[in-house]
Structure 1
């Protein structure tokens, strides 16, 4: 593949970003990944990228790398303001030299969570559409991820036509890349809980629903969005920074549907005696997402990727059920569950 001459800096090329990195390398982009671990750095180098080591609090390094790149993607987490501020600082430095930058940040649809009746609400009729910016602008400032998204929106206003900024807002992410061997977060964590406790679980009655997306469809969406920003005028990019990315139709399960599938499949595999899902009591939240369990597993969050579809993107990967049965569950069953004590990281969606 010929060199495109375009330089991309990816902060956190992990579960999401590594898949995006592969696609960009395949298109001839020069990609640098910002990673913490030597082992992952070697994996990224094997994929064809350059590597810079550090963590998200290395603001000077992130800002310096941003000044050297035409394109920056942040796929590490939706909730780390200092690293985002460092990117914005680097973009401002480039703007001062007359250099334009494209920046795509990763948020998550926890922004739209319905906090009315945790786990007990029925399937919500409220669906957010990214072609209606006012729906996102109306979200409370205290919504999950909103502090960082608002900082980016402010930077977009301040920079004006000197940069092109966008925010990708994925929902529940599923899927598996057999080359990377990395799993998603929510459904695998619920599976590990079931293996440890002997039953599949849902928060409350589990009636809330969340849109979802396969990670490989999501990775393609970043590239589609990037190409759009490359071709668009700076003024066009200013109109609306928000992009949802989801699979719709009957692929929008309730959390009880998720728990039911986990129970059925683990029972079929001989790992639990009773496939019937049960309520995840709050005293056991420490074995899933701790204090964030309710916000991660118990609420409605429905979104529609109108804008990406208008750009020609369509989801083409396996639905969440097939992905779980054929790809994710077999990988989870290879794990040693003895040390499992819940998920300690941050969940983007």
Structure 2
């Protein structure tokens, strides 16, 4: 299936590097678009080629898209110029009779119904991807929606000349011991607790977000890719959306997460009191700034019906085991002096 297939990954970082490893192991020819020379050397060691630039280098991204049969965007859910550059390249390929598979990464902040920043109870609404209407009913100004709608429009414009899909993961956790990269939300909350001496949650912390281990997510991209390779363009056109989550009984509230963080840091002798407290807005700068409520106060539940129908199943550690056994030991190795919140793009 993979013989001769060329894959271009925009942003082979925390998510994409794991996908890259799996693609290389299956014999795909992979090129990663990276910013730093060091990371370029890392993905080369994983068996890929590297192209350097940033997400605003639209011409580079378009030119690379033209050269590749398959494109994956795993850098961020919210960068329109890079998505437009990919779409331009896909359209140029289509004009030459070349079909392209494109999988973009969005996030379940799309479905956030937490209007009171963590004060409301666990949401009763569960979004399922086997109903396209569930996603299409979301407001146009929902998080990530502008990008997703751009892709959906391109899908309609291209028709059967290309195959486009959108992966929509929830809270991502987990650790790959080869890559040594940590996720965003839970490690940031842990670093906050180390700095302030207590674990914290936004509001009452009663909202929940579904979750997924990064290695289960990486395998989901491969399952989806194989499905798209085998499916007709008309079949792919029916529904571009794919959720990806663990089973529903593993949906902790944000307070549940804070409790575990507090317990484990207290057990490690790093904080005096294991009981979490409300994250005061004056301290949001030490988490995600003005986006804190949207990143760690959301209420969003989703079900990966379609991936399960394709045979995918999550098999990695649950969030609690992963945190205690893998992520927390790495965080405790860090020097926390000067920690002032997460400054990158955080989108779930």
TM-score (normalised: structure 2): 0.99
2:280 aligned with 1:281: yes
Q: Deviation digits for residues 89-138 of structure 1, max 9, x if unmatched? A: 00000000000000000000000001322210001110000001001001
Aligned mates of 2:331, 2:99 — CA distance in 1: 43
What are the Cα deviations for residues 274-293 of structure 1, in whole angstroms up to 9, with x where unaligned? Answer: 00000001000000000000
CA shift digits 1:206-237 (9 cap, x unpaired)? 00000000000000000000000000000000
Aligned to 1:146: 145
- SS in structure 2 at match of 1:220: helix
Q: Which residue in the other structure is 1:32 paired with?
A: 31
Q: Which position in structure 1 is the counterpart of 2:220?
A: 221
The aligned counterpart of 2:163 is: 164
**What does 1:61-140 align with in structure 2 at a 5 Å threshold?**
61-140=60-139
Q: Following TM superposition, by how much is the alpha carbon of 1:251 offset from its aligned partner in structure 2, in angstroms? A: 1.1
Give the superposed CA RMSD: 0.8
Specify the SS of the correspondent of 1:142.
coil
Q: Give the Å deviation of 1:249.
A: 3.1
What is the Cα deviation at residue 4 of structure 1?
Answer: 1.4
Residues 55-107 of structure 1, C-alpha deviation per residue, up to 9 Å, x if partnerless? Answer: 00000000000000000000000000000000000000000000000000000
- Is residue 114–residue 207 contact of structure 2 (8 Å, CA) maintained in 1? no
Q: Does structure 1 retain, via aligned residues, the 8 Å contact 2:129–2:306?
A: yes
Q: Secondary structure of the equivalent of 1:161?
A: helix
Distance 1:302 1:183 in 2: 23
**Alignment partner, residue 292 of structure 1:** 291
Q: How many residues align?
A: 348
Does residue 1:21 correspond to 2:20, yes or no? yes
Q: Which runs of 4+ in 1 moved over 2 A?
A: none
Cα deviation for residue 3 of structure 1 reads 6.9
Q: Match for residue 254 of structure 1?
A: 253
Aligned to 1:60: 59
SS of the residue corresponding to residue 100 of structure 1 reads: coil
Q: Shift in Å at residue 250 of structure 1?
A: 2.4
Q: Which residue of 1 aligns with 2:192?
A: 193
Instruction: Give structure 2 stretches of 5+ with no counterpart.
Output: none
CA deviation profile, 1:236-286 (whole Å, cap 9, x unmatched): 000000000000232100000000000000000000000000000100000
State the match for 2:174 in structure 1: 175
For 1:298 and 1:157, the matched residues in 2 are separated by 34
Is residue 2:342 matched to residue 1:343? yes
Partner residue, 1:311: 310
2:337 counterpart SS class: helix
SS at match of 2:252: coil
Distance in 1 separating the partners of 2:83 and 2:295:
23
Give, in whole Å, the separation in 1 of the partners of 2:328 and 2:3. Answer: 39
What's the TM-score once normalised by structure 1's chain length? 0.99
* Local SS of the residue matching 1:339: coil
